[in-house]
Structure 1
């Protein structure tokens, strides 16, 4: 039986068709964790370094010459205004006061005598029993004696004031420092000898500085709006925040040419007196509020030689790169003011699987879940058994 060539070709084509396999299905798009960004008003915070200073500081000095007899306070203790801190030997000052009082008494006696003589001359003048010259001399003597009385009173007042300075008192409320002169030393001889210093440490000043660039940033954030007083929070040496907030009370208007910065100062309550002047501290200063910026987790922001950028899942489900401008870090987030739009789905986790131009499945990012997508299995969770 002769087989036709057409039959052989048909059988060969059928066998070849049976040997072909169907192509594998395309893999599903990778699953990524995203955050949907929204514009917000964010406090403009700066991490700075400052130094504490006393609210008021007063030098306690010897204002009269004499020998320092004793110290009347405990070094490092709190003292009140008017409290006696040192005693200078008052004996010479008492003697000077007594001498001034004696001179005043003598001047008063001379004035009394001169006044009697002047009154007699006044009575005799109309009767021509006294010459004009004698009358003038009597009146001049009366005036000189009156002036001597005034000078004597001034000398007594001065001597009494000097005697009061023998008890050296604190000019303000505060904490008295270390004694600078020992007992028995001669003080106030030629100049006002420094005995100690009293510092008022409740409240305290916090002195810090801000660069011109940062100052311009603050002004731009304020945008000409009236702001409440800037808040300052001090961090203690162990990193814990101090429980009371300070307020900015001074901003300089002259730039330091050596540093290119401007000086600022905040007032910080210190009722427990736990903070001490002279201490360097770190602080967080809230100097304004930025309007319509975006907060992104730091893990979402990437950088290359061109700029900072993020990957966004677009409306069509494909990944798009967006270049952004970051302003600063705030906690574990970046503050972004250019490059994003409200509603953008920014990829935070699964960045290694996302490629620009390729599809991706967006799921809400869960920061408490290690950055994994919402429906991803947890570390301790066992996979479900297959049916």
Structure 2
């Protein structure tokens, strides 16, 4: 096995030497070989960063029972559209009806007691004024009248509480939206202590896209934006796009509304929220997507990926000298942008480098440069993070 490996390596080396020899002979016989070259230029580009996002409705409201009772009627179905004030559920109300009737009867009793106490005060008052009876009896009658009035107030409060509880058996939607799952059926016992809500109504006329940036991205983000405060920075942000799960781009553009004030110490990330209009109700709560966020980088040098080669983990380009000879220069790159690299160091504006055919080149080889103009499509680039 080792012998085969050595033989294969020797064969590759011989082929390489033969190729170099042929290239050298061709160059000697026909002069310098033409190679496409390009001049390094600084330009402004737009990079589109993509961040995984969770989509939620503008309002996700849990519908819960405020009183205990059995589900008597269900007026909606899962996934149906409802309007604010539309009837959703009705709970059984026999006990609550009895409580309302009893409270109403207690009001009438309290009213009668007030009338009786008032009559007593009216009867005693002239007698006290004529000194026929003592004023203590009048004070007692007035005290009884005040107590009767207090009982009437308490009876009315009890009635209002019972009536309110009865009203809670009629459950209506608080907003326009889409009905979520309904875990209960007719006859199910529900109440205030149930873990699961009766259903959820999601207002999805607008949706929120929640995504996160790490600390490095946050620092870069803050440096690139103008404004003395977070609010001013947010106002300066460009519109963002939403990439759906099927890879398509959502038709409506959104904007970033808020940036969380704290970095999550466990994940080292900070949360952002973007809002998107949803007029056709295409987006639903719980789906996922990617927020496509544009950022501009000014005066950068782009090098086609095919114009670089890698050696021991480093990237190199062949720079053409004034004598049309090639020299290998190491370049430091950052992100990949479409089919290009952003060069941070190692290549200056105005320098010419070979674009294709690097495998045929060797250090110091003289070539015939053929100028090739490289223009990023639309002067824009796309970066996926």
Alignment TM-score > 0.5, same fold: yes
1:118 maps to what in 2? 121
Query: Are 2:250 and 1:247 equivalent residues in the alignment?
Result: no
In the TM superposition, 1:16-165 aligns within 5 A as 27-165=30-168
Whole-angstrom CA distance in 1 between matches of 2:163 and 2:325: 93
TM-score, scaled relative to structure 1: 0.79
Contact preservation (8 Å) 2:64, 2:192: no
SS in 2 for 1:256: coil
Distance 1:69 1:203, change over 3 A: same
Residues 290 and 98 of structure 1, relative CA distance in 2, 3 Å threshold: same
With normalisation by structure 2, the TM-score equals 0.79
Which SS does the other structure have where 1:172 is aligned? coil
> How big is each residue's C-alpha offset from its partner over 1:171-222, in whole Å with a ceiling of 9 and x where there is no partner?
2221112222111122227658721111223322222222222223333444
Identify which of 253, 271, 275 aligns with 1:263. Answer: 271
SS at match of 2:142: helix
Equivalent residue for 2:217?
A: 214
Greater radius of gyration (CA): 1
C-alpha displacement of 1:145: 1.3
CA deviation digits over 1:22-45, x for unaligned, max 9? xx9774333222333332333343
CA contact (8 A) 2:211 2:291 kept: no
Pick from 270, 289, 292 the counterpart of residue 296 of structure 2.
289
SS in 2 for 1:130: coil
Tell me how far apart the structure 2 counterparts of residues 116 and 190 of structure 1 sit (CA, whole Å): 49
Say whether residues 1:308 and 2:315 are aligned partners: yes
Q: 2:185 aligns with which of 182, 185, 188?
A: 182
1:134, 1:253 → 2: CA distance?
Answer: 70
Does structure 2 conserve the Cα–Cα contact (< 8 Å) formed by 1:32 and 1:351? Answer: no
Give the distance between the partners of 1:166 and 1:235, measured in 2 at CA: 43
**Distance in 2 separating the partners of 1:28 and 1:224:** 59
Alignment match, 2:10: none
Counterpart of 1:330 in structure 2 is 337
Check whether the contact 2:53–2:291 (CA below 8 A) recurs between aligned residues.
Answer: yes
Deviation at 1:263, TM superposition (A): 2.4
1:279 aligns with 2:279: no
Higher helix share goes to which structure? Answer: 2
Q: Which residue of 2 aligns with 1:360?
A: 367
Change (3 A) 1:132 1:48: same
CA RMSD of aligned residues (A): 2.8
Alpha-carbon shift at residue 135 of structure 1 (Å)? 1.3
Question: Tell me, which stretches of 5 or more residues in structure 1 are unaligned?
Answer: 1-23, 369-387
Residues 189 and 212 of structure 1: is their aligned pair in 2 closer, same or farther, counting only changes over 3 Å? closer
